[in-house]
Amino acid sequence: MFSLFFWCKEHFTLLLFSVLLLIDCLIAFQITGAQGGVNSSTGERPLRYEIRDFANSGPAFDLFILALIDLQDVDQSDQLSYFQVSGIHGFPRTSWDGVSGRGSYPGFCTHAATPFPTWHRPYVALFEQLVWQHAQDIANIYPLDQRNEYLNAALTLRVPYWDWAVYPALPDVVAEPQISVNTPNGQQTVDNPLYAYFFQSDAAGNGFPLSDPMANFSETVRWWSPNTRSSNQSAATAALLANAPTIQSLTYQMFTSVTNYTAFSCTWPGGQWLTANNIESIHNSIHNSIGGYGHMQFPEVAGFDPVFWLHHANVDRLFAMWQALYPDTYIEPTVNAYGSYYEAVGFVDSGTTALAPFHSDSGSTLFTSNDVRSMKRFGYSYPELPDWGMNPDELAANVRTAVNSLYNPSSNSTVSSSARRTRRRSSSIAENFGHVSLDLARHLRVNNLNRQWSITVLVDRFPLDTSFCIDFFMGDAPDEVSSWPTAPNLIGTYAQFNPANVTMLHPNGFPQGQVRGEISMTHTLAAGVSRGAIRDLSPQSVTPLLRHALNWKARTPAGEEVPLTALSGLSISVSTRPVVPRNTKDSFPVYGAVQWLGSVTKGKPCGRPQPHVHGMF
């Protein structure tokens, strides 16, 4: 303490900051986001950048890495430590900033509930605010000839996002254990704080329940293997790549055809939107692909993996872009069927209910969804959303153009015809319809064809004592369960984002209710058309094929097969709809009525002619 004080005398602003931190123990921590660099007269705000651009930004990236190292080093007894902030999401299930809960869910995060997008907005803003504060201190100690450059970069520093729908691979700067940055002491190679977070204590010291299988890891892991006793980062990338065409199509359709916030926001079935995919289900898939058997797969510990923040900055970006397209729809009162640590099962979420534990002032006021409707209040924006220079119509047109060019690009390429030549028509279903890379899907323009095909999944939120996935295949699943997530004939994976030990959290019975998600399979079928295996995408051509070729299997993240009959409430249905492709760069396709094809799933495990909602909904 003495040396800290002595050191601070030379840095009055730092001293002030330390005093503020002390006062924080007495009064609430006000979440403002990072406010530096905001132009108060025009409303222009610094941008959160895509990680690939951001990694090449020089000083901003250096500062981000160094600030994250500092944040991860803050003693975990401090509520503004990486440990405690990441722990808001799940374990250790204790109070934060004076707010506590009583629910049985591991953390404050709301999932399968309509505040899913709104709750995570102040959460990422809190992280950004802390990173920003650390970056100011670091910029101040660069040598004089670099200091101004670093101070300017620190002022406008915002956290990066990772657009996994366009770049479906773990970014290099996330996957490498070490990283080289320009520090105040020159270029240095340091342990990469985006690669893993190292816990400062063991499970008991962290306050993690010891009966959770994830509790005892000393660092965050991705696709951890019990054989090698280590992470496998390339398995994460392989899983992301295998799902990429589905993820890109679902992301595109979320923008082009989901127009009601309730349908957009979460996996809760919500009655009438059974064909619509939603931001949470897409986000769940990414958690699963990154985590495998690892922290990102399980909500009680996901917040500790540093890539969580890049993932959620992107979820927030997709939310903000979607809001620019549909500004008139927002959260409406809905029942939270599953609860959180803060909210009891049956709580009615609305625009005015609290997003705990996030304070909007230094007193006792908690943010509400209505408070966070605009990201303006948190001092950031995204490249697609220069809202200070455009009226709402221009902004929406700008977003449509960006959505088209990112997720449904035009292409003059001839790859589709060469793909046709290189892959001869085969007698194998898996060959004819498999090996569909994101590149091929884009060249086939799968999001701009005259028809779409989808699989809809409805299933109980907690049918098992752990998390699970369902893999969909054209033809047979490979024999080895470990080959399923990256099988060449995988269409896509439905992922449930459930805790590793549900029994421990809900010893008196699991909360009842279903969740939903979609898998897009237009890419698989379009590849089959391009290879001459089927004539076209019409129901006449596709239905008989799917009837014998479409299969699905379920597994746990640890790689054990789950009998489909063990997944209570499971309902799998197939639908198609005609599409009038888009014809200008800022317009969207127009979709016709959904047609359910009951004969495709008839007689298959948990196949239903249409999504079957049971119970309270």
Residue 213 binds ligand NAG (CB under 6 A):
yes
Residue 210 binds ligand NAG (CB under 6 A):
yes
- In one-letter notation, the amino acid at residue 524 is T
Stretch that binds ligand NAG, among 38-46, 176-184, 275-283, 558-566 (CB under 6 A): 38-46
Q: With respect to ligand NAG, which residue has the nearer C-beta, 432 or 486?
A: 486
Residue 156 binds ligand NAG (CB under 6 A):
no
Q: According to CB under 6 A, which one of 74, 203, 549, 567 is a site residue for ligand NAG?
A: 203
Contact 443, 480 (CB under 8 A): no
Contacts of 509 (CB under 8 A, 6+ apart): none
Distance CA 320, CA 396 (A): 11
Residue 228 binds ligand NAG (CB under 6 A):
yes
For tokens 């657009």, name the residue.
163
- What minimum distance in Å lies between the beta carbon of 478 and ligand NAG? 12
Stretch that binds ligand NAG, among 65-73, 404-412, 450-458, 538-546 (CB under 6 A): 404-412
Q: With respect to ligand NAG, which residue has the nearer C-beta, 260 or 401?
A: 260
* Alpha helices in 457-571, H assignment, sequence order: 502-505, 522-530, 539-549
Q: With respect to ligand NAG, which residue has the nearer C-beta, 238 or 546?
A: 238
- What minimum distance in Å lies between the beta carbon of 213 and ligand NAG? 5
Residue 187 binds ligand NAG (CB under 6 A):
no
H or E, element range at 183: strand 178-183
Q: According to CB under 6 A, which one of 8, 390, 504, 564 is a site residue for ligand NAG?
A: 504
Stretch that binds ligand NAG, among 122-130, 179-187, 200-208, 551-559 (CB under 6 A): 200-208
- In a 10 Å sphere around its CB, with 0-12 CB exposed, 13-18 middle and 19+ buried, how is residue 523 labelled? buried
Q: Which residues pair with 451 in a beta bridge?
A: 578
Stretch that binds ligand NAG, among 66-74, 115-123, 226-234, 584-592 (CB under 6 A): 226-234
Backbone phi, then psi, for 490, in 5-degree steps? Answer: -70, 135
- State both tokens at 129: 């605010």
- State both tokens at 327: 């500004």
Residue 508 binds ligand NAG (CB under 6 A):
no
3-state secondary structure of 551: strand
The binding track of 258-297 with respect to ligand NAG, each residue x by CB under 6 A or -, is --x-x-----------------------------------
Residue 148 binds ligand NAG (CB under 6 A):
no
Q: According to CB under 6 A, which one of 149, 191, 332, 561 is a site residue for ligand NAG?
A: 332
Considering only residues 236 to 265 of the shown chain, the ones binding ligand NAG according to CB under 6 A are 238, 260, 262
Count Cβ atoms below 10 Å from residue 40 Cβ, excluding itself.
Answer: 7
Residue 235 binds ligand NAG (CB under 6 A):
yes
Q: With respect to ligand NAG, which residue has the nearer C-beta, 41 or 427?
A: 41
- What minimum distance in Å lies between the beta carbon of 611 and ligand NAG? 16
Backbone phi, then psi, for 368, in 5-degree steps? Answer: -120, 170
- State both tokens at 407: 């997720």
- What minimum distance in Å lies between the beta carbon of 613 and ligand NAG? 14
Contact 94, 100 (CB under 8 A): yes
Residue 348 binds ligand NAG (CB under 6 A):
no
Of the candidates 274, 269, 296, the residue with the CA atom closest to the CA atom of residue 285: 296
Residue 41 binds ligand NAG (CB under 6 A):
yes
Stretch that binds ligand NAG, among 248-256, 314-322, 500-508, 580-588 (CB under 6 A): 500-508
Report the chain's terminal Cα–Cα distance, integer Å. 58
Q: With respect to ligand NAG, which residue has the nearer C-beta, 235 or 537?
A: 235
3-state secondary structure of 504: helix
Q: With respect to ligand NAG, which residue has the nearer C-beta, 51 or 239?
A: 239
Q: According to CB under 6 A, which one of 39, 94, 362, 370 is a site residue for ligand NAG?
A: 39
For tokens 């790689």, name the residue.
559
Contact 168, 438 (CB under 8 A): yes
Distance CA 298, CA 14 (A): 37
Q: What are the Cα distances from residue 126, in Å, to 33, 59, 375, 414, 457?
A: 6, 22, 13, 47, 34
Question: How many residues are recorded in the chain?
Answer: 617
Contact residues: ligand NAG, CB under 6 A: 39, 41-42, 202-204, 210-211, 213, 216, 225, 228, 232, 234-235, 238, 260, 262, 329, 332, 410-412, 486, 501, 503-504, 507
